[in-house]
């Protein structure tokens, strides 16, 4: 056996074992604290809501274990199991040039992968989310979302993919720099185009009406010197009862979006505090830092891919008998996350650090108590657990666990 095969299997088993171990710890911890509401939340969250959150978290995490196992088997099927090899044998019989062959190869894999994922995604939406009263998606919306997603992938993804493969084939040994430039340019273009052109294909956006809420938000924007292309309300309730607020776009094209579900649950003061937190991510340069991080890691990734592509063990070690640029690209994308999984505590830590900083910004420019109240309402509405497992949180949580986040806000107000 090739040593890459051994290394790959080792990392895959280590990743799956760790993920299942963390999930089991998380479920046990949540169920252990299920009988009583944590002291800090007494009076704000009822026992029934607390237990619903525990059951929802446990059910979601159990489904996650099945997804982990299934994902590992599918990955093995594509690589060492010969799935990619079989697909390659099929596309090369059509005798197109390398770019067209590669594009068809990758599109084929993407389409097969989404078909394999479909039962899981149907179960999650129409069973799990529905059981806890969150799902508002109708089968018609579900199907039309899927059709639109597929169409977008074909219209936008196909030319991009072909261009990347063309550069890899024709631009010599520095191709990875040109691909990086194209990829970075494309990402920036999408960030700019998404709020105006793509998001409206899936949801309806209306400007927030004039009135007390809007005045309050406008004054916060003025106070913090923030320019945006308007404040919008999105019909999130069309698909789910989960609520959220976010920013999209960049430069002058920034938009503030509130889910209609959030608008119904939060008071004006709480909305302002939530928005102040989101503004904090901009003002503390988190958005820029995140972009720099993503763009630099993708440059590093492409450089590594450029080196791996020239090694025949890279292909044979992962179950492909012949080397080609498109096979290298797919192997790299499929297998990469197995080798980087143990770095996830690091990225999660950075993300949680940014959340604390954004909370501090909100406490300074708005009001810490309002943000605490808004968070408690959002935990309740989303049935988010108040008692996550510590290690599970270290690996996965982009936001600090509820009790720690609230205690931090109360300490800085």
Give catalytic residue positions: 278, 359
Strands 255-259 and 205-207: unpaired
**Total number of residues binding Zn ion (CB under 5 A)?**
2
Angstrom distance (rounded) from CA 367 to CA 360: 10
**Cβ–Cβ under 8 Å, residues 328 and 314:** yes
Nearest approach, Cβ of 354 to Zn ion (angstroms)? 7
Angstrom distance (rounded) from CA 356 to CA 9: 37
Measured from the CB atom, the residue of 249 and 319 that comes closer to Zn ion is: 249
Measured from the CB atom, the residue of 327 and 378 that comes closer to Zn ion is: 378
20 CB neighbour count, 10 Å cutoff: 14
Select from 410, 383, 389, 398 the least CA-distant residue to 351.
Answer: 398
Measured from the CB atom, the residue of 34 and 281 that comes closer to Zn ion is: 281
Nearest approach, Cβ of 220 to Zn ion (angstroms)? 16
Strands 255-259 and 231-234: parallel
Nearest approach, Cβ of 176 to Zn ion (angstroms)? 33
Angstrom distance (rounded) from CA 378 to CA 385: 11
Nearest approach, Cβ of 340 to Zn ion (angstroms)? 23
Please choose, out of 26-34, 63-71, 85-93, 349-357, the segment that lies near Zn ion by the rule CB under 5 A.
349-357
Measured from the CB atom, the residue of 217 and 245 that comes closer to Zn ion is: 245
DSSP 154: I
Measured from the CB atom, the residue of 91 and 358 that comes closer to Zn ion is: 358
Angstrom distance (rounded) from CA 312 to CA 328: 10
Backbone angles phi and psi of 256, in degrees to 5: -105, 130
**Cβ–Cβ under 8 Å, residues 309 and 179:** no
Site string for Zn ion, 299-338 (x = CB under 5 A): ----------------------------------------
DSSP 135: B
Q: Please give the residues from 358 up to 377 whose contact with Zn ion meets the rule CB under 5 A.
A: 358
Please choose, out of 16-24, 73-81, 337-345, 348-356, the segment that lies near Zn ion by the rule CB under 5 A.
348-356
230 CB neighbour count, 10 Å cutoff: 12
Order of all β-strands in the sheet with 255-259? 205-207, 231-234, 255-259, 245-248
Nearest approach, Cβ of 361 to Zn ion (angstroms)? 10
Measured from the CB atom, the residue of 54 and 378 that comes closer to Zn ion is: 378
Please choose, out of 1-9, 160-168, 197-205, 357-365, the segment that lies near Zn ion by the rule CB under 5 A.
357-365
Nearest approach, Cβ of 240 to Zn ion (angstroms)? 19
Give the interface with Zn ion as residue ranges (CB under 5 A).
355, 358
């Amino acid at each position: 056996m090739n040593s890459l095969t051994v290394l790959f299997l080792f990392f895959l088993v280590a990743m799956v074992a760790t993920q299942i171990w963390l999930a089991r710890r998380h479920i046990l911890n949540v169920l252990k604290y299920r009988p009583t509401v944590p002291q800090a939340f007494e009076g704000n969250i009822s026992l029934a809501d607390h237990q619903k959150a525990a059951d929802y978290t446990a059910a979601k995490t159990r489904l996650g274990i099945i997804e982990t196992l299934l994902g590992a088997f599918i990955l093995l099927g594509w690589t060492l199991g010969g799935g990619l090899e079989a697909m390659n044998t099929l596309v090369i019989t059509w005798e197109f040039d390398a770019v067209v062959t590669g594009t068809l190869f990758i599109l084929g894999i993407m389409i097969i992968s989404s078909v394999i994922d479909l039962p899981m995604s149907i179960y999650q939406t129409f069973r799990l989310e529905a059981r806890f009263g969150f799902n508002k998606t109708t089968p018609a919306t579900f199907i039309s979302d899927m059709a639109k997603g597929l169409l977008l992938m074909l219209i936008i993804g196909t030319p991009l993919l072909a261009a990347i493969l063309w550069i890899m084939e024709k631009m010599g040994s520095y191709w990875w720099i040109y691909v990086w430039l194209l990829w970075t340019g494309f990402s920036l273009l999408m960030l700019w185009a998404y709020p105006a052109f793509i998001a409206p294909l899936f949801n309806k956006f209306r400007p927030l009406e004039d009135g007390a809420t809007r005045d309050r938000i406008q004054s916060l924007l003025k106070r913090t010197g923030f320019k945006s292309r308007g404040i919008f309300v999105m019909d999130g309730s069309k698909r789910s009862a989960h609520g959220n607020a976010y920013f999209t776009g960049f430069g002058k094209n920034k938009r503030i979006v509130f889910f209609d579900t959030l608008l119904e649950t939060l008071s004006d003061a709480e909305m302002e505090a939530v928005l102040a937190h989101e503004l904090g991510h901009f003002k503390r340069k988190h958005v820029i830092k995140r972009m720099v991080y993503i763009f630099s890691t993708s440059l590093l990734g492409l450089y590594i891919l450029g080196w791996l592509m020239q090694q025949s063990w890279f292909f044979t070690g992962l179950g492909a008998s012949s080397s080609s640029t498109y096979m290298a690209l797919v192997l790299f994308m499929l297998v990469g996350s197995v080798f980087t999984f143990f770095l996830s505590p690091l990225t999660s830590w950075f993300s949680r650090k940014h959340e604390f900083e954004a909370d501090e910004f909100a406490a300074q420019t708005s009001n810490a108590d309002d943000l605490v109240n808004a968070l408690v309402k959002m935990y309740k509405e989303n049935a988010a657990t108040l008692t996550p497992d510590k290690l599970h949180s270290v690996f996965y949580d982009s936001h600090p666990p509820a009790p720690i986040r609230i205690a931090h806000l109360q300490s800085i107000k």
